Amino acid sequence: MNSTYYGLNVSSGLSYRDPSSTAVAKNVIVLALGLTINYINGTLIHTFRKHQIFYVNPRYILYIHMVLNDMIQLTTTISLFVFSYVFYKINTSFCCLIITLAIFTTLNTPLNLAVMAVECYIAICLPLRHAEFCTIKRTYILIGWIWTMSAVSTLPDVFIILATEPLRLFYSSIFCERDNLFHHPVSLKKRDVSYIIFLIGVWLTLFYTYFKIFFAAKAAKKAKSSDGDAKKARNTILLHGFQLILCMLTYVAHVLIKGLLYWFPKHYVHIAFASYIVIQILPRFVSPIVYGLRDKTFRQHLKKYLMCSGNRLQKCTR
């Protein structure tokens, strides 16, 4: 099977190649899903840019950063998927660039979710200090720190390969998969350690903020005050948690697939493809739902944009 994505080796030899019809069907499915999600995300970004109410609000800035990050992540992983079928092997330098960008954006997502959960916590549990803590400047600084933490986890792999591999490697062609490129024992050990740190840190943040918001909603209900915002924030944190579970599957993908292969050894290609859809594409489908469809303000402006676009299209087709 000629397919791959960041974090999962989907190709282990010619015996795993798909028949032509199956390969075409899988690529059509992946491209259709990717284009659909990126179109929705692009619409959300356009709506964000057209209305000042969004880009002066830290919550929406963090959200749109995640949407943009998801678009980059989808584009890179789907490109790798298609390249693996069309070309099988590509230039190592180009592969290194795509893989590094895919790892960056994949690591960014759980960190962004954790920051958004903290913002929800401050808005509900510390409302009087929300404007003080959650400023536009601090929001952009946090986004910078998100990329910095991903860089600290990822760039050492690039430096290791530059220091340990001969220069001719970067002029050769390889099957573009992370373990084929960053296979040094130090890189593998560092990846495991960084995954554990990310996993523990983000989950502790999510659990803490969820239970704080949950108890705030409970207290508001007992006091017979309006607890709608607290309930909505609690549900948002739950959605973050669901999305995070899907994202964190990336960190255990190889273990998961080994377990499935133990039970279904004859269905390797189907297991790998299903894992790619669930682990890489499905989490990016959740992002538009969190605010794009659930948030009242965003939904109203998005409807206006879609209605205006529809009216213009009708005029053009007359």
Instruction: State the average pLDDT for the chain.
Output: 80
CA 179-109-54 angle, 5° bins: 150
Decide which of 65 and 190 is more confident. 65
Q: How far is the CA of 133 from the CAs of 114, 139, 173, 234, 297, in angstroms? A: 16, 9, 49, 20, 22
CA atoms of 139 and 171, how far apart (whole Å): 41
CA atoms of 43 and 230, how far apart (whole Å): 28
Q: Is the pLDDT of residue 275 over 90?
A: no
Query: Residue holding tokens 């919550």?
Result: 59
pLDDT tens per residue across span 78-124:
998 898 888 888 999 999 999 999 999 988 988 998 898 899 889 88
